[in-house]
Structure 1
Amino acid sequence: MSNGTGTLEKSWAAADIAPSERRKKRVRRLALYVLPLIALLVACLVNPYIQYVLNLVLIYVLITVGFNVILGNTGQLAFASVVFFGVGAYTTSILIHHLGWPFWVTIIPAGLVSCLFAVAMSAPALRGVRSFYLAMLTLAFVELMRWVYVNAESLTLGSGGISLSAPTLFGFTLNTELKKFIFFLIVVVILVKATSNLLRSRIGRAFMAVRDNELAAAAMGMPTAQYVILGFGWGGFVIGIAGSLYAGHVQLVSPEAFSVTELILHFSMVIVGGIGSLAGSVLGAAVLSAIPEVAQQWPGVAELFLGGAIVIVLLFVPRGLISLVYRFVPILRDQYHGGD
């Protein structure tokens, strides 16, 4: 009798929880489509310079989403995002400049080449290199790739970089910031949605198991090495596409854009937004790419803002700014982000 009562109580509890979970999913799904529409409306109402900044925000959203998959979801302290970013940008630039490919055709190849680099860079992690050792090793790759960009002049044109014309899409020239924004927004929505689906799947749950306790996951028979490779590969693919969009946006790809300073910015976006949170990736990228860019008219303010934001978040909101959003709007909380 007690077993039957217990089963009935569990059924009632599940019935109470199910509508709540479905409601949360509907709200999160609605936010995924409403927010881009709001962003598009804003882009249509502002001047070209603000549109230029909004395009940078979209590019950094992809970088932070990809970096967070590696750093926050699989738990690999690999500071290689700027490598994948540079490889994607240079792949697009080389295909356009040397082979005459149209911009839109180069986007997927840029992501795939960056994915290959990411898989190759997962090798140290597979050999047991972890924590600060993996961080230092991947930092070395950042400087190595900058050396390649400068010295492989036959491909990269050296320190002067590769200049590109306005990007094209199926024969149409994206010669205004608004046109670029519309195209970039479509790409970002697709990749953010794909990443969300990946993290909600069995693969995403395996990422988090590896992050939380890799030894326990391996003891349960989970092929942890495969999931580490998948995490690196997907993160590299997303960041590589961001690099391709960056090449089409600024139309000048040079080694100075892919330095350790840029890497610090990527890492700051992940930390400030919320490590392990997909929504936090978007929030961190928006805050740390848009506001400093607007503040460039006041010398030193951008650097002060960046440093101050990191200090304040680490001291008072260690789970990132997204934790404040979850505190006031808990229905938006995603399962990738732990408790406060």
Structure 2
Amino acid sequence: MSQIMPSARQRKTRTLLFWAVPAVLLLLPLTTNPYTQFIANGMLVSVLVTLGFTLTIGNLGQLAFANTAFFGIGAYSSAILAAKLGVPWLLTIPLAGAFGALGGFLASAAALRGIRTYYLAIITLAFGELMRWAYLHAKPLTGGTDGMPMPRETLLGISLTDDTLKFYIFLAVTVLLVKATLNLMRSHFGRAVMAVRENEIATASLAIPTARVILVTFMWSGFVVGCAGALFARHVGHVFPESFGMLHLIASFAMVLVGGLGSVLGAVLGAVLLTALPEYLRAFPGMEELFFGLIVAGVLVAMPMGLASLLRRVSPIFVERFYREAP
């Protein structure tokens, strides 16, 4: 569908808004209690997980479900590096991202062989289950069913168990990765990703290396979600294999759909909404799952293109070139 692209002034406003939001969020720890702060930290982790997921399934258009594998790889990499090798946790974040990128390379192998649609979905699901099997059975390394605890550390004399300190670190990492992803998708490479999504054969006929585009997109997705895994490990303090199963995958997929396929802004909105929603539904014991499902279904029926489509109608400031307005 045709769309109204933002003017230069609107683009400047959008940039200002992008930096204003995290600037305002810096004040959040001053106005919240410890429980709300813990939920806010979880939202930031979910934003990165959803962002990495929407890169492959929304922007690249591949039915790939290796997201949970990348998340687990990042979390266990961070925990193992910190607990067994004594690497400071902050340094484990980019290292966990690198291991996640390696997972993205392995997951993209099937796509590079020409496997697509439902076949790719099954293979990437199997990859995620294979990694969970490894977490369970590599007990000397991962702790098996007992999981892997994160060691206690301090930063500038403050314990890393402090949720306020974690919030500021999580916020910085999230903003940097969201900005990097936006820049990537606005580049020539981002246009190549969209071209592969729309018509891979036609894209290849223009001498665009589609295999390289697929590979790099999977690896960047793995890097982003791997970094999220490192944040998650510190967020919960103890990594268990059960955290990276089908339930997490379904929740992440719901965040992508509710936010809007292929939309970075949608990834943020979907993650924030569906992370906060279960906490509000605790007021209805025994009915949480029912109300959660009804709300998600209602949002998708009312806005099939997700929350991002609603904001696009409000102002051209929220227009994203790499967002698919219609299937």
Contact 2:258 2:296 (C-alpha < 8 Å) held by counterparts: yes
Matched, 1:62 2:48: yes
CA distance in 1, matches of 2:79, 2:134: 15
Tell me what 1:101 maps to.
87
Report Cα offsets for 1:245-281 as digits up to 9, x if no partner. Answer: 0001100101010000100011000000000001000
Matches within 5 A, 1:312-331: 312-331=298-317
1:42 positional shift: 2.8
Match of 2:185 in 1: 199
1:257 correspondence with 2:243: yes
**TM-score for the superposition, normalised by structure 1:** 0.91
- For the pair shown, the structure with the greater C-alpha radius of gyration is 1
- Report if the CA contact (8 A) 1:89-1:247 is conserved: yes
Report the AA paired with residue 60 of structure 1: S
Contact 2:147-2:238 at 8 Å conserved across structures: yes
8 Å contact 2:261–2:324 — kept in the other structure?
Answer: no
In structure 2, what is the Cα distance between the partners aligned to 1:301 and 1:202?
48
Q: Distance in 1 between matches of 2:119 and 2:285?
A: 36
Q: Please name the residue that 2:8 is paired with.
A: 22
Equivalent residues of 2:260, 2:266 under 8 A apart: yes
Corresponding residue of 1:111: 97
- Number of the residue aligned with 2:278: 292
Q: Show CA shifts across 1:88-143 (max 9, x none).
A: 00001111111121111111110001100111110110111101111111111122
Give the Cα separation in 2 of the matches to 1:124 and 1:218. 18
* Residue equivalent to 1:79: 65
2:259 to 255, 265, 273: 273
The separation in 2 between residues aligned to 1:62 and 1:144, in whole angstroms, is 23
Q: CA, structure 1 residues 321+253, in 2 after alignment: closer, same or farther (shift >3 Å)?
A: same
User: What is the CA–CA distance in structure 1 between the aligned matches of 2:302 and 2:212, rounded to whole Å?
Assistant: 36
The code of the aligned residue for 1:223 comes to P
Q: How many residues align?
A: 323
**290-299 or 222-231: which moved more?**
290-299
Alpha-carbon separation, structure 2, partners of 1:110 and 1:218: 33
- 8 Å CA contact 2:281–2:292 kept in 1: the answer is no
Q: Which residue of 2 aligns with 1:164?
A: 150
The whole-number CA distance in structure 1 between the counterparts of 2:121 and 2:286 is 29
SS at match of 2:63: coil
Counterpart of 2:125?
139
Q: 3-state SS of the aligned residue for 2:26? A: helix
What is aligned with 2:223?
237
Instruction: Show the counterpart of 1:92.
Output: 78
> What displacement does 1:167 show?
4.6
Kindly state the Cα deviation for residue 43 of structure 1 after the two structures are TM-superposed. 3.1
Q: Is the 8 A contact 1:272 1:309 kept in 2?
A: no
Query: Which amino acid is the alignment partner of residue 294 of structure 2?
Result: G
Aligned 8 A contact 1:104 1:169 in 2: no
CA pair 170-211 structure 1, distance change in 2 beyond 3 A: farther
One-letter code aligned to 1:249:
H
- CA 1:90/1:213 → structure 2, altered by over 3 Å: closer, same or farther? same
Superposition pairs of residues 168-183 of structure 1, within 5 angstroms = 168-169=154-155, 172-183=158-169
Contact 1:273 1:284 in 2 (8 A): yes
- Amino acid of the residue matched to residue 80 of structure 2? I
With 236-245 and 319-328 compared, the bigger mean Cα shift is at 319-328
Percent of aligned positions that are identical: 47
Are 2:198 and 1:212 aligned?
yes
CA distance in 2, matches of 1:298, 1:40: 32
Instruction: Decide whether aligned partners of structure 1 residues 305 and 240 sit closer, same or farther in structure 2, where only a CA change above 3 A counts.
Output: farther
Output the amino acid matched with 2:35: Y
Q: Distance in 1 between matches of 2:325 and 2:68?
A: 29
Correspondent of 1:221 among 189, 201, 207? 207
For residues 134 and 292 of structure 1, the distance between their equivalents in structure 2, rounded to whole angstroms, comes to 31
Determine the C-alpha separation between the residues in 2 that align with 1:167 and 1:289.
Answer: 27
Quote the Cα distance in structure 1 between the aligned partners of 2:118 and 2:27: 43
TM-score (norm 2): 0.94
